[in-house]
Structure 1
Amino acid sequence: MRAAVLLGVLSLWLGACRVQAAAVFAHFMVTNSENFTTYDWEINMKFAQQAHIDAFALNMAYGDATNEPSLALAFEAANVRGFQLFFSFDYAGNGAWPKATVIDYIDQYGSNSAYYHYKGKPFVSTFEGPSSAPDWIDIKKKTGCYFVPDWSSLGAKAALEASPGVPDGLFSWAAWPWGPNDMDTYVDASYMEYLDGRPYMMPVSPWFYTNLPGYKKNWVWNGDHLWHDRWKQALYLQPEWVEIISWNDYGESH
């Protein structure tokens, strides 16, 4: 009887730890915050907190003039709101980030009380950039960051092989079904299989419509009940993190 009670208490404790370990993020396009004031950042963070979102993943393209002023305001607002932020370096928008610049950004903001940490380390992600995978050997060594890139163009297995031992986990961008099909979890399962116990960041998105001729993008994907289905899948798979795509990517309608 006593053993059964102890087992029950242990199960509850482990369950609580699991809930505390998991977090939900929202992908935030910094380039779309050009005209933000501190108040704009604060009100967006307030809405995110009301939706139980733990942090914004700040997507930044290299050389974007919005980055510097927006980051200063964002971290100021996050400290006021008690909200968290972390960097998602975009290697597709304006090309690859120089290694030294990435290190400078993490060094500058990684110790900020509003910067999201995982296992005591500043959490860092990317949008693509697998050709720069070797850079992260030095970046991790010099910054001590916890690195969870999105190298979805390679798939899970090849992403882990791009620079073996460098990713601490992986983020997948595969949040939408193909054509008229409903969303499934085959890609998620592939990531979780190849990660083999390392943490997975699962994407969740309500829909995807875009018509941007400059980027040769013009499509709409099935999303009638995607938001509902995807959260059910996340609850079933129980990834370490969920990242919503997105908070403000207006050009892709999500």
Structure 2
Amino acid sequence: MSFVTLLLGALSVARAAYGKDVFAHWMLDEAYSFVQSDWESDMSTAQSIGIDGFVLNMNANDYETDKLVDAYAAAESLNFKLFMSFDMSYTWSVTDMVNIVSAHASSSAQYLWNGDVLVSTYSGDSGSTATDSFWSGFKSDLASQGITISLAPAFTTYRDPSLASSLLSTYPSIDGFFNWWSWPADVLANLTTDTDVAYHQAISARTGPYIMGVSPWQYKDTSDDQDWVEYSDTLWNYRWQQAIDIQPDIVEIITWNDYGESHYIADVLSNINIGTITYVDGQDHAPWRDVAEYYISWYKNGVQPTITEDKVVFWYRKNPKAAVCTGGTTSAPRNANFPGDSVFALAMVASDATISLDIGSSHAEFSASGNAVTMGSVPFPTEDNQIPYIQIIRNGATVKDGYGSVEVSQSCTDYNFNPFVGIVE
């Protein structure tokens, strides 16, 4: 057994009394048309796969503040938990942040860490909030109202493992840490756990949680300086396996509903406003929740779940990466050469089976182990407008099969590196 394994095991035992919860990052700017029943529906869907609560990402102190009232009321009715994540890429005053936290601190839906109100961020380590005095002032102003918080920010400049010790010396007021980085950093290689190991160990000197981000994808194309894709072909499987190994205090799924970055696992609802983000249209991601349900159970219970129902979750892009699009988006996103031109399939089967993957003239098979997760893929064909066909075969007979619902086309109007996700069950 390695030193790292022993170390992380000791950390997990030491904090076991507090954690093992799973949250999903929820973009509050998508709640413009939400009423309490919409919140209840979303929360019930999340609860059904083992998610304990939402982390409410606030962009600004505007209509989002009012939406918190319905969110907390819905969560209280469902015994669902919530905590705030202030998006510090926007301008915030300490007073506004204090008022928002204090307004909901006594709610039964407010998530507590070791008895304290948990508060997180996106960023907050640059600009006017870069100094520890901002954060210590935030905490002391809340304390003056009798509210003690556990501050676990996602300081996004802290990704390099070598900076873990300086995080603590630079920010003595923080209690925990949220590792936002859930994708490779502009490299054609799988994400490692080096950052997780370093910051998990470092923050163990404090009383707050180590929160580990887990994400299925990363693609964004909203402006000239906001267009990229990260290598994510098999990320949704191996990042969960990393979480099982690391055993963080909290897993945070990035995200429930950030449609702009293509890592949503929520349904694409009719009452959300995605504006000009056309690459979400028809791109269902709901079957990724089946994968999450499996790994959430494993993470929480410490035991690999028993699989009783055969299913294959599969995902693929609608255009090869070399396709030249002729519409409004005139250039491919950064790292467009990274994704594989393939249909990726994740099998969860009760007993050994063969998974057959076909798309046009392209065919592949892989052996899926019983009561386990196994992945395989089939490359895109040369023919145009082809659709995947997936079979679960056992003892020479097809026991389940199904098709994708989006064709792979060699031509395109706008670049789209957001995958369609389907399921055979």
Q: TM-score range by the shorter chain?
A: 0.7 to 0.9
Q: 2:181 aligns with which of 170, 174, 179?
A: 174
> Root-mean-square deviation (CA), in Å?
1.9
Per-residue deviation at 1:188?
0.8
Mapped to 1, the partners of 2:121 and 2:85 lie a distance apart of 4
- Counterpart among 102, 119, 128 of residue 124 in structure 1: 119
Q: Which residue of 1 is the match for residue 24 of structure 2?
A: 26
Instruction: Give ranges in structure 1 of 5+ residues lacking alignment.
Output: 1-13
**1:209 aligned onto 2:219:** yes
SS at match of 1:40: helix
* 1:2-35 deviation line (CA, Å, top 9, x unaligned): xxxxxxxxxxxx97x8286221111110001111
Write 1 or 2 for the structure with the bigger share of helix: 1
Please identify, of 148-157 and 173-182, the stretch whose mean Cα deviation from structure 2 is larger: 148-157
Match of 1:246 among 246, 255, 263: 255
Q: Which aligned pairs between 1:124-163 and structure 2 lie closer than 5 A?
A: 124-131=119-126, 132=129, 133-141=132-140, 142=143, 143-155=147-159, 156-163=164-171
Match of 1:91 in 2: 88
Q: CA–CA distance in 1 between the matches of 2:184 and 2:17?
A: 28
Query: What SS is found at the alignment partner of 2:33?
Result: coil
CA contact (8 A) 2:26 2:257 kept: yes
| 2:6 alignment counterpart | none
Give the strand-richer structure, 1 or 2: 2
The letter for the 1-side match of 2:254 is I
- Which of 30, 33, 36 aligns to 1:35? It is 33
Greater Rg by CA = 2
Paired residue for 2:243? Answer: 234
Structure 1 stretch displaced more, 175-184 or 78-87: 175-184
Contact 1:24–1:55 (CA under 8 A) maintained in structure 2: yes
SS at match of 1:21: coil
User: Does the residue aligned with 1:42 lie in a helix, a strand or coil?
Assistant: helix
Q: In structure 2, which of residues 60, 68, 71 is the aligned counterpart of residue 71 of structure 1?
A: 68
1:27-51 CA distances to partner (integer Å, 9 max, x unpaired)?
Answer: 1100011111111100110011011
Deviation at 1:197, TM superposition (A): 4.5
Q: Give the TM-score normalised by structure 2.
A: 0.53
Whether the 8 Å CA contact 1:88–1:126 is kept in 2: the answer is yes
CA contact (8 A) 1:205 1:227 kept: yes
- Following superposition, the deviation at residue 229 of structure 1 comes to 0.4
Count of residues in correspondence between the two structures:
235
2:107 matched to 1:112? yes
CA shift, 1:193, in A, is: 3.1
Q: Distance in 1 between matches of 2:170 and 2:32?
A: 34
The normalised TM-score by structure 1 is: 0.87
Please give the alpha-carbon distance, in whole angstroms, between the structure 2 residues aligned to 1:231 and 1:18: 19
Q: 1:152–1:159: 8 Å Cα contact kept in structure 2?
A: no
More deviation, 198-207/136-145: 136-145
